[in-house]
């Protein structure tokens, strides 16, 4: 599988979400658990729900209590997203574990899964920009501006897809190797966030 296949999975996830367009809709992943397809669908579903949570919290009329609830959901979602990216990187590490890197092999500043994370979010941008570019109640100027932005996003998709495919091809050929750092997020950790650990004193 390559990025073209994963883009189709992302599009499927986004389409499935918008059947209800409800952040509380349970994910119904159609792929077998443990497969890369399953992970890609799950990853994009997390991104899609969080995209809409970010929209909700920006409502200027939102109730403050509701806003705090959504903010905490976004924090939790960010942690889940990070965990999923690291899990996908672990999948790739296992996939290429038998490859012996060349003596002059290099590594990228970004792991494959973090690049895929950007591709997943880019697909969400494309979906929503397409909606704006064809929105009937918007002005012609708005639709034209969004169409121009959509074209840029589609170019980004092509470039990013090519770069990810090249990276994975180089890893498989031993020209590059993976070097993955755990994100070690601190704000959710009761032993690292001073606001949390000082409450225990």
Chain segment 106-165, per-residue pLDDT in tens: 988 889 999 999 999 999 999 999 999 999 999 999 999 999 999 999 999 999 999 999
Instruction: Quote the CA–CA distance of 117 and 43 in Å, as a whole number.
Output: 8
Residues 49 and 77: beta-carbon distance below 8 Å: yes
φ, ψ for residue 176, nearest 5 deg: -135, 160
Q: What are the boundaries of each domain within the chain? A: 3-186
The beta-strand segments (E) located in the chain are none
**Which letter does DSSP use for residue 19 in this model?**
T
Tens of pLDDT, residues 1-30: 799 999 999 999 999 999 999 999 999 999
Q: What is the pLDDT of residue 124?
A: 98
In whole numbers, what is the pLDDT of the chain averaged over residues?
92
Instruction: Quote the CA–CA distance of 168 and 200 in Å, as a whole number.
Output: 46
């Amino acid at each position: 599988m390559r990025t073209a296949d994963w883009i189709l999975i992302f599009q499927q996830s986004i389409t499935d979400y918008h059947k209800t367009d409800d952040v509380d809709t349970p994910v119904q992943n159609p792929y077998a658990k443990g497969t890369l397809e399953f992970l890609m669908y799950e990853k994009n579903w997390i991104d899609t729900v969080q995209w809409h949570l970010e929209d909700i919290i920006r409502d200027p009329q939102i109730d403050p209590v509701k806003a705090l609830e959504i903010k905490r959901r976004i924090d939790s979602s960010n942690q889940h997203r990070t965990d999923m990216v690291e899990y996908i990187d672990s999948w790739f590490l296992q996939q290429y574990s038998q490859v012996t890197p060349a003596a002059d092999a290099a590594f990228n500043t970004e792991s494959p899964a973090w690049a895929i994370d950007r591709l997943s979010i880019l697909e969400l941008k494309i979906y929503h920009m397409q909606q704006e570019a064809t929105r009937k109640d918007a002005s012609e100027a708005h639709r034209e501006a969004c169409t121009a932005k959509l074209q840029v996003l589609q170019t980004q998709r092509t470039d990013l897809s090519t770069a990810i495919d090249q990276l994975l091809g180089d890893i498989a050929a031993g020209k590059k190797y993976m070097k993955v750092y755990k994100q070690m997020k601190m704000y959710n950790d009761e032993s690292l966030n001073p606001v949390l650990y000082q409450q225990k004193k």
